[in-house]
Amino acid sequence: MFKELNFDVIEKLEANRDKSAHRNLISNALKHIGIEQVAFNKKAADELSTTFSLELPFSKITHQQKSGRCWLFAALNTVRQKFIVEHNLEDFEFSQSWLMFWDKLEKCNYYLEAIINLSDRDLDDRTLYNLMSDPIPDGGQWDMYVSLIEKYGIVPKSVFPESFNSSSTKSLNFALAVKLRQSTALLRRLIKSKMTEEQIYKKKTKCMNDIYNMLVYSVGEPINTFDLEFTDKDKNYKIYKDLTPKSFYKDFLKCELSNYISLINAPTEDKAFNKTYTIEYLGNVVGGKEIKYLNLEIEKLVDYSRKQLERGEAVWFGCDMGKHLDRQKGLMHSELFDYNEALATCLDLDKGKRLTYCHSKMTHAMVFIGANIKNDEVEKWKVENSWGSEVGFEGIFVMNNQWFIDNVFQVVIHKDLLSEEDRENFKKEAIVLPIWDPMGSLARI
């Protein structure tokens, strides 16, 4: 039974309110400059200097603009520095829009296949509803990136540059979503009317043809071959002719992406540690790499990330970027804002409860490129973001280790760095989680 909030209760609430001079002073500040400014902890901010004992080289900061492609930018940022050093370049970028083009096309196909597979479900089915509510998100996962690059290769940004619609995806996503929902209604009607599989897939192919055209018009026409040319820091001009996207990936990247494993820290009752998990109906390339995570204690994610940096490799990671962040200053500290003191209450939730009760999820992917280690413990992390050089320390963010513990949910680590036990556990069959699980949220931004 619902109980009314009557005026007797309201009078008691008012009577119990703290009316001390101290609270009135804070209340005036809250109303004048806002909760975040009052809660800001300058002492915590001052701890985040840009001095690191362990640093990888990095180049010009990339910018995902008005798009949710952080996962692609971060993934490509993990490999581009090696290319820059190997070829003695000032800077270089792989084309993010190339992978974005194929990701959109593959996601549309994946969605339509899921719609056909779920045609016997009612429209209020939770899985079907989640698919239809956001049929073509920008987000993605590491394994989705691997599927794309192994199928379509990679190209320099110079030969497949950004378009307005790859940098600002709102309108394109809207148009694609309309086309997909239109096709959803058609396909469900055809299946319900007992049309043949050939007739159903003929209509699906027509939809995919329209989508391909929309992507070509909006993002660019895919290329089959290209020439790679550049002048290095010593003014030496080089050209490699008639490359294909796949040959460029195989011959120039020299990186076996299938050797990297996604580790998560999800301390919730429904996810035991040392078990593997996957997400139902989450993916892009049908027949591509399975999205698979090994759930481990957070201390292992910290340790493996440090070890990968120490051997000279950057670390792709997924986190909740909405907690204790100063975006403009590039500060990520677990005590950056003291909301408890500012609002005179307790607002604490542990990591597991934040995941369980919808207060936290993965919202952003970035790259670790350094750390500061004191007394053999990681004190803070150097983070390469993809929000341009106007924020942070010219695009670099600084994270204290407790922020990692509280808000990092996933890191991607080379399998050789894992213990034998963890490698064996990863080989086990994955437990299937529902599409709405927070461990799939990064792919739905």
User: Beta 377-384 vs 293-295: how paired, if at all?
Assistant: unpaired
The active-site residue out of 284, 333, 364, 407 is 364
Q: Cβ atoms within 10 A of the Cβ of 2, count?
A: 4
**Residue 219 corresponds to which tokens in the numbers above?**
């993002």
The active-site residue out of 77, 173, 372, 385 is 385
C-alpha distances out from residue 280 to 129, 312, 328, Å: 13, 35, 36
**Residue 31 corresponds to which tokens in the numbers above?**
């109303």
Residue 130 to residue 275: CA distance in whole angstroms: 25
Buried/exposed code over 313-336 (b: 16+ C-beta within 10 A; e: otherwise)? bbbbbbbbbebbbbeeebbbbbeb
CB 278 within 8 A of CB 290: yes
The active-site residue out of 63, 70, 108, 333 is 70
CB 169 within 8 A of CB 138: yes
Eight-class DSSP state of 158: T
CB 48 within 8 A of CB 333: yes
User: Is residue 317 classed as helix, strand or coil in its secondary structure?
Assistant: strand
Eight-class DSSP state of 249: I
C-alpha distances out from residue 336 to 155, 394, 406, Å: 40, 20, 13
Distance of CA 172 to the CA centre of its chain: 20
Q: Where are the alpha helices (DSSP H) in 219-297?
A: 245-248
Concerning whether 207 is annotated as a catalytic residue, the answer is no
Residue 399 to residue 391: CA distance in whole angstroms: 14
CB 273 within 8 A of CB 297: yes
Residue 378 to residue 181: CA distance in whole angstroms: 48
Residue 100 to residue 426: CA distance in whole angstroms: 29
Eight-class DSSP state of 53: S
Concerning whether 70 is annotated as a catalytic residue, the answer is yes
Catalytic site positions: 70, 364, 385
